[in-house]
Structure 1
Amino acid sequence: MTEDTRVEGTGVEGTRVEDARAPLDRDKLFTARLHAARARPYLATALFALHVVESRRVPTMAVDRHWRCYVSPPFVDRTPVEELAAVWVHEVSHLLRDHHGRSDRVARERGLTGPGERLRMNIAADCEINDDAYGEGLVRPSGAVSPETLKLPEGWLMEEYLRAFSLRLDTQDLAWLDCGSGADGLEREWDLGPDGAHGLSEQERDAVRFRVAQGIDGRPGHAPERWRRWAEEAFHPPQPWRELLGAAVRSAASGAGAGEDYSYGRPSRRSAGVPGVVLPSLRRRPPRVSVIIDTSGSVSDAELGSALLEVAAISRAVGGRRDLVTVLPCDAAARIVHPLCRGEGIPLMGGGGTDLRTGFARALRAQHRPDVVVVLTDGQTPWPASRPPCRTVVGLFPRRRARSWREDDPDHVPDSPPDWARVVDIG
């Protein structure tokens, strides 16, 4: 189906009969898109990535999750160019902020079904967009929903607005809203679907988002705070770091050699081939984990508290055997090794410089050598020159930029964690 594709349907209520079958005024529509790109230059890549499909089934303009924009010809005829430009920005914002994917997740988590709940999601998504979308070259379209419309505060996310209101008599006038499946995830009858023409692939959609984020990051003073936060997440998407940390520890603990030792408790089956000789069998035991916590002056009290929470998560990741997990506070010198069974009273002493190599050395000299070493740090430390004889997982506290720990060399940049360590960013 080409750009000139037209999906026949019913006309818009209130439109004159002689205009109901008039073709889409593409010159006016694309003039409005150019105006939108000039007003919001950081959104230009996304605006021009949308493929227009003429449709008489949509009330105004709508998008699907494949970056097609369905446009009603009567709506374009009766709407000024300035308002059309604002609608362009509104619709593409739904896609950039992944409102369709987020709506699907919310629907699964909260058990929300039916078109009424999807309408609430559309309204909540509109509130997230419209609280800071207009002004500075864009006029507010007539009938645009804002948090003020629902008597709610500005600055919330779609998920928060969705919890804060329900469909009532005072919201019945909003039933006409329909920004399409790109806004609430519910496929419409006019959608061309994943196999239709001119949809963007998942890789192309990600590329568009990345280019928009680059534009915002390159000129941060030209975008509202909400868009700047969106761009930061596009470059550094939030990760389920606790699950990643647990998975990294479990992976290290289940690796070859970890938690394995020879035992005469059950003779090896190969003993039958050597009469008179009892051969030990290789038995798997729960892995021992040593957690080195960076307690240097560059780590905040809040991060130290977070580190103790991670220790509890690490214990769960290896089956809950707290007696096999030890905690070692370390700044420039290794402190006392604490068994996790006393986790509630572990003193995180330190506050000086940072050299976690002493922590590695102390952990590996323990009576029972660990199978896995987990390091919780901000990364501002020298690392062992050689790979330790056990698996290593590094949990990094977030830092915008590396800061020196050397007073005599303020330009010094600390080394990144070595390649032999599995690194997980802690949120």
Structure 2
Amino acid sequence: MASMNTISPMTEDQSLHFQAWRATALQTMGYMASVMFSLRPVHCSAVDTFAVDPGHRLYINFDNCIPKGPQFCAEGLLHECSHLIAEHSMLAVTAGVTDEERKMWNVAADAAINDDLRDAGCAALAAHGVFAAHLGEPDYQTPLHYLDVLRKLKKPNSQPQGGSGGQGQGGKPTDGDQPFKGCGSGSGGEAGSFELGEDDSLGGAAEPANEVEKRLVRIATAAAIQQHQKQHGIGSVPGGFAEILDQVLAPSVTPWDRVLASFIRRAVASKAGYFDTTFTRRNRRRMNETLRTTGGRVRGRVIAPGYIKPVPSVHFYRDTSGSMRSHDLDLATNEVVAIARKLGIRGDDLVVSDIDTQVHQSQRFTGRDSITNIQGRGGTEMGEAIVHACSLRTKPSVIVIATDGETGWPQERPSVPVVVLLVNLRSEVWKERVPDWALTVEVASND
């Protein structure tokens, strides 16, 4: 938890400076307004310039930033907002970034967004930020690409020559009188010792953004980008931002009402409701009806069928092995949401498990935010998903496995129907290896 002598709410004068920087930033990238206004700015003397945490708390050393001028500071805000909108802290977890690699990741994430910020008109950033050229790589690659490059260099303590603080390079935690030079845990980089805890709102001045708010911010930003492109044309928004936000609004491309229809008819979990009739359940409203002769004599009782509503029980297995890219995982998550919406199921009827060579966490689906945490990132063995589902006390009606296909499969037909979603299939060879007993559906991005 941060000490009060290093972090404090903004003064009135600091607030006026921040508002001016924000207005300047939005003149350059107006579609970033939602994320910009979601920031919780505080003064922090322990950071060099800017840093951010996943709760959208923005740490600013006003004493250092104000002399650098409004343009520098406006671009610094855009830089930190870019980390948040790209969800780099979550992507670092997905990528399996270790604590020792946090500084390298910060550099990789900076290189992945700075080229787009430069293209959007951030001239001050272009003069001293970290770019792909400093790594000997081309622009417009992903943080994962640049991280692989840095890993191969095997020099985790050396940093490419570029800018400093939030705009240029990953740094190190505050050590004595040395300021923290890095973007903070909001970028997936190292967290500064000054960062506020989740339960510390600095007296209400910096309440962290919750998952729902962060999701709404991304949706609003995606909509703003679409509107900007309609008004100014495709290409008016840097490609990296357009691609990131396309994922937010991308609908499922799988017709689940048709794909699972046959399975639903054959293997469903029966629940009380008003949909169909069955003699396995008595009709409570017609329990005392009797058969009588024409003379009125009772000859027996009528057993009336009860009403049921067939509801599928789906266990969704999400391939989280190392070969699944961030965008692949986004597509898989979109399919979970589509199943929930189109089939009207959630909770115990829709369980999501992460799997690489073994099943990790299993979560009852209660909304997209309930499955944002991803575990795994090892090898690949999707057959373990089938073994896991068939060993459950209550077997699901259907198993859905979302994978890039780069896995082996059991040859024996399981006792539960299986749907295999091949996400962004990169080779027809993997499609051919899916057993005939599985229903195969290809899921690709809408690009």
- TM-score, with normalisation over the residues of structure 2? 0.50
Deviation at 1:187, TM superposition (A): 3.4
Q: What's 1:159 paired with?
A: 144
Query: CA 1:63–1:373 in structure 2 vs 1: closer, same or farther (change >3 Å)?
Result: closer
Equivalent of residue 8 in structure 1, options 5, 14, 24: 5
Preserved CA contact (<8 Å) 1:101 1:185: no
Structural RMSD (CA): 4.5
Provide Cα deviations, 1:34-84, integer angstroms capped at 9, x if missing partner: 111121011011111101011111111000000010000222222111111
Corresponding letter in the other structure for 1:44:
A
Deviation at 1:95, TM superposition (A): 0.6
Q: What's 2:312 paired with?
A: none
Is the partner of 2:51 in helix, strand or coil? strand
Q: Which protein shows a greater Rg?
A: 1
Query: CA 1:191–1:312 in structure 2 vs 1: closer, same or farther (change >3 Å)?
Result: closer
Q: Which one has a larger percent strand, Structure 1 or Structure 2?
A: 2
Deviation at 1:185, TM superposition (A): 5.3
1:199 partnered with 2:208: yes
Using the alignment, how far apart are the partners of 2:76 and 2:247 within structure 1?
Answer: 25
Using the alignment, how far apart are the partners of 1:175 and 1:373 within structure 2?
Answer: 46
Query: CA 1:179–1:23 in structure 2 vs 1: closer, same or farther (change >3 Å)?
Result: farther
- Number of matched pairs: 265
Equivalent of residue 209 in structure 1, options 207, 218, 239: 218
Preserved CA contact (<8 Å) 1:90 1:129: yes
Using the alignment, how far apart are the partners of 2:200 and 2:6 within structure 1?
Answer: 18
Preserved CA contact (<8 Å) 2:103 2:189: no
Query: CA 1:153–1:196 in structure 2 vs 1: closer, same or farther (change >3 Å)?
Result: same
Deviation at 1:146, TM superposition (A): 0.8
Corresponding letter in the other structure for 1:138:
C
Equivalent of residue 239 in structure 2, options 225, 232, 238: 225
Using the alignment, how far apart are the partners of 2:403 and 2:3 within structure 1?
Answer: 60
Preserved CA contact (<8 Å) 1:94 1:182: yes
Q: What's 1:67 paired with?
A: 56
Preserved CA contact (<8 Å) 1:32 1:85: yes
Preserved CA contact (<8 Å) 1:29 1:81: no
1:250-261 pair list within 5 angstroms: 255=268
Is the partner of 1:58 in helix, strand or coil? coil
Using the alignment, how far apart are the partners of 1:312 and 1:93 within structure 2?
Answer: 28
Preserved CA contact (<8 Å) 1:42 1:215: yes
Using the alignment, how far apart are the partners of 1:209 and 1:102 within structure 2?
Answer: 15
Equivalent of residue 42 in structure 1, options 31, 34, 43: 31
Corresponding letter in the other structure for 1:231:
L
Using the alignment, how far apart are the partners of 1:169 and 1:125 within structure 2?
Answer: 16
Provide Cα deviations, 1:16-37, integer angstroms capped at 9, x if missing partner: xxxxxx9973322221111111
Question: Which has the larger displacement, 184-193 or 127-136?
Answer: 184-193
Identity %: 23
Preserved CA contact (<8 Å) 1:128 1:158: yes
Is the partner of 1:66 in helix, strand or coil? coil
Is the partner of 1:53 in helix, strand or coil? strand
Corresponding letter in the other structure for 1:113:
D
Q: What's 1:178 paired with?
A: 182
Preserved CA contact (<8 Å) 2:170 2:183: no
Using the alignment, how far apart are the partners of 1:168 and 1:77 within structure 2?
Answer: 32
Using the alignment, how far apart are the partners of 1:171 and 1:55 within structure 2?
Answer: 24
Corresponding letter in the other structure for 1:212:
T
Using the alignment, how far apart are the partners of 2:123 and 2:12 within structure 1?
Answer: 26
Q: What's 1:127 paired with?
A: 111
Using the alignment, how far apart are the partners of 1:311 and 1:148 within structure 2?
Answer: 34
Deviation at 1:140, TM superposition (A): 2.8
Preserved CA contact (<8 Å) 1:95 1:183: yes
Corresponding letter in the other structure for 1:217:
Q
Corresponding letter in the other structure for 2:184:
G
Provide Cα deviations, 1:110-139, integer angstroms capped at 9, x if missing partner: xx233xx10000000000000121255432
Using the alignment, how far apart are the partners of 1:256 and 1:157 within structure 2?
Answer: 43
Preserved CA contact (<8 Å) 1:125 1:158: yes
1:106 partnered with 2:95: yes
Q: What's 1:149 paired with?
A: 134
Preserved CA contact (<8 Å) 1:28 1:76: no
Corresponding letter in the other structure for 1:209:
R
Deviation at 1:191, TM superposition (A): 1.4
Deviation at 1:322, TM superposition (A): 6.0
Q: What's 1:188 paired with?
A: 192
Using the alignment, how far apart are the partners of 1:59 and 1:253 within structure 2?
Answer: 63
Q: What's 1:92 paired with?
A: 81
Query: CA 1:248–1:155 in structure 2 vs 1: closer, same or farther (change >3 Å)?
Result: farther
Corresponding letter in the other structure for 1:202:
E
Provide Cα deviations, 1:153-178, integer angstroms capped at 9, x if missing partner: 11110011000024368627556441
1:321 partnered with 2:412: yes
Is the partner of 2:64 in helix, strand or coil? helix
Preserved CA contact (<8 Å) 2:119 2:238: no
Using the alignment, how far apart are the partners of 1:56 and 1:206 within structure 2?
Answer: 30
Using the alignment, how far apart are the partners of 1:149 and 1:94 within structure 2?
Answer: 19
Deviation at 1:98, TM superposition (A): 0.6
Using the alignment, how far apart are the partners of 1:231 and 1:61 within structure 2?
Answer: 24
Provide Cα deviations, 1:396-419, integer angstroms capped at 9, x if missing partner: 65596xxxxxxxxxxxxxxxxxxx
Using the alignment, how far apart are the partners of 1:95 and 1:84 within structure 2?
Answer: 17
Is the partner of 2:95 in helix, strand or coil? helix
Using the alignment, how far apart are the partners of 2:148 and 2:28 within structure 1?
Answer: 32
Is the partner of 2:99 in helix, strand or coil? coil
Is the partner of 2:116 in helix, strand or coil? coil
Using the alignment, how far apart are the partners of 1:251 and 1:75 within structure 2?
Answer: 63
